[in-house]
Every structure is written in C-alpha cells, then in structure tokens.
Homo-oligomer: A and B are copies of this chain.
Amino acid sequence: MARVQARVEAALERFLPAAGIAPQRLHDAMRYAVLGGGKRIRPLLAFAAGEASVGEPVSADPARLEIAACAVECVHAYSLVHDDLPCMDDDVLRRGKPACHVEFDEATALLVGDSLQSLAFQLLAEHRLSDDPAVQVEMVKILAAACGSRGMAGGQAIDLASVGQPLTVPELEYMHIHKTGALIRASVALGARCSNVLAPGQLARLDHYAKCVGLAFQVVDDVLDQESSTATLGKTIGKDAANNKPTYVSALGLARARALAEELREEAQAALSELHGGARRLAELADFIVLRKF
C-alpha cells in the first residue's frame, strides 16, 4: 500500500500543473487540494484491480495504472473541494488542513474543482492506457458516467435533498451508491481495463466487489463519524448528526451498522473467489476499508 501511495503521490505531483505556471493562484490551489493528503483508496483500488487476473497472474503496466489512478483521484479531490463549499456542506476542515475555499477563496475553489474534473479526462485521453483505443474510449465513458448527474454529482444532489429526512436503509443505499459508490466502482473498472485480461462475466464480478466495498466504505465512515475524533479523522466529526443528515448509524444503530459493514466485506471478498489468488490485494483492501480506524 505504501509503495502504491508513494507512486501515486509522485505521479499526481508530476501531472498537476507546476505551481509557478499561470494562472498561478489556481494552480497553487489545485496542488493544495490534491497533494499531500488522503488515503488514496481509489488509486489503491485501481492498482489492485489491475492485478486481478484468471489463472496465471498478469498485472497491468503500472505506468498505465498510474494514469487511471490519478484520474480517479483528481475526480475525488474535485468532489471534496466542491462539497466543502459554503453553499454545499459548508465545511472548513479537510484532510487535517483548512478546506480549499478557506485557504484560498470560494471562486478559486470552484475553479479548482472544475479544472480537476477536466484534468481527469485529459489524463485518460492523453496517455496510452490500453493497446486498443476503443477500450480507452470506453474508460472515458465509464469515468464520465460515474461523475455525472446519474453518478457522483447526482448522489450529492440526493444527499442535499435528504437533509432532515429520516431515510430508510434502501434509500440511504441508493444515495451512497451514487455519491461515493459510483467513483469507487469506476476506480476498479478502470484499473481492470488497464490489464484487459478479464472476460465480461469476471468484470461484472469485480464490479459487484466494488459495489459492496463502496457501500462498506460509507457505512464505516458513518460509524467512525460517531466513534472517532476530529483530530484522528482530519475532518469535522459529528457534522451529519448536527445537520440532521441521515446516516447508517442513525438508521440502524451502531451495532447493526458495524455488522452490515462486516457482511459487505464478506460479500465483496466472495465476489473475488474465481480470480487468481482471490485477487489478493483487492481482498486486503476490503479488509483495510472495513477495519480502518480513521
């Protein structure tokens, strides 16, 4: 994990516009929002999916995985910058630092998010990610659909609309499948397509893994938001409860939310059974996501 995280950090450093290039404030702010923070869960999933194979272990070219990993991380970073804006979740703390609009200003933060989204697609299009350009076009389509109004941005809209509403567990699931799940699924899908060794049925099982892991991630987030501290998480805790936002903990209680995360971890790992070595790194990431303390 540390090796992949360091590699992705170095790649992001390289792919982001250099700090001295005009418009300088925007580029400084883009670097601030992306570099030096975060667990890099999505890049880790992309790299691990690139190692998933049937029979003989075949791993995707790390230089290609790096691009896919940076693209999904740019989208993730953009979503955090926009979500923290005053008109959205109005949060001032992110990854242990002042949120982008606090460190810079709102207009710059808006443009940071907009530019990071463009950069993600630029990365997917200006490097070779597959021997078959048609697969690369498919990768753009996967990421675009995951970002859009029927993916991540749509999930955020549902989230905003649900403030103060007591949601049922299926409604919560529907929201999170969009808000965080879509990009996590895209991370796995893009990583897997960098190696291009899996049949459609196997890609579908990987996608089921990603769907379970994405939901588990959110359930664990809700549990940690209840149990942990602002210092440990590097973001404001207890905010969802304070904002009267529905969470898995408010819907299920702490014990049942923990049990649900555990079930999702098992379901995710079961989906990997046909792959070589149970796709070891993906299985380990499911452990990491569910058992993490921050």
- Which chain A residues have a beta carbon within 8 Å of chain B's beta carbons? 17, 21-23, 25-27, 30, 78, 82, 85, 87-88, 105-108, 110-111, 113-115, 117-119, 121-122, 124-126, 132-134, 136-138, 140-141, 143-145, 147-151, 153-154, 156-158, 160-161
Task: Find out whether the CB atom of B115 lies under 8 angstroms from the CB atom of A138.
Answer: no
Q: How far is the CB of A102 from chain B (nearest CB, A)?
A: 13
**What 6 A-B pairs are tightest by C-beta distance, nearest first?**
A118-B148, A122-B144, A87-B106, A125-B141, A115-B149, A125-B140
Task: Find out whether the CB atom of B107 lies under 8 angstroms from the CB atom of A149.
Answer: no
A122 and B136 in contact (CB under 8 A), knowing A25-B161, A156-B111?
no
Residue of B23, B78, B157 near A154 (CB, 8 A) is: B23
> For the complex, what is the distance from the CA of A50 to the CA of B88, rounded to whole Å?
41
What are 25 A-B pairs with beta-carbon distances under 8 A?
Answer: A17-B149, A17-B150, A23-B149, A23-B154, A26-B154, A82-B110, A85-B110, A108-B160, A111-B149, A111-B153, A115-B149, A115-B153, A115-B154, A117-B118, A118-B145, A118-B148, A118-B151, A119-B148, A121-B121, A121-B140, A121-B143, A125-B144, A132-B133, A133-B137, A137-B137
Closest residue on chain B to residue A21 by CB atoms? B150
Copies of this chain present in the complex amount to 2
Q: How far is the CB of A92 from chain B (nearest CB, A)?
A: 15
Q: How far is the CB of A118 from chain B (nearest CB, A)?
A: 4
For A22, A132, A138, the residue with the greatest tally of chain B CB atoms inside 10 Å of its CB is A22
Q: How far is the CB of A50 from chain B (nearest CB, A)?
A: 20
Chain B residue numbers with a CB within 8 Å of A147 are 114-115, 118
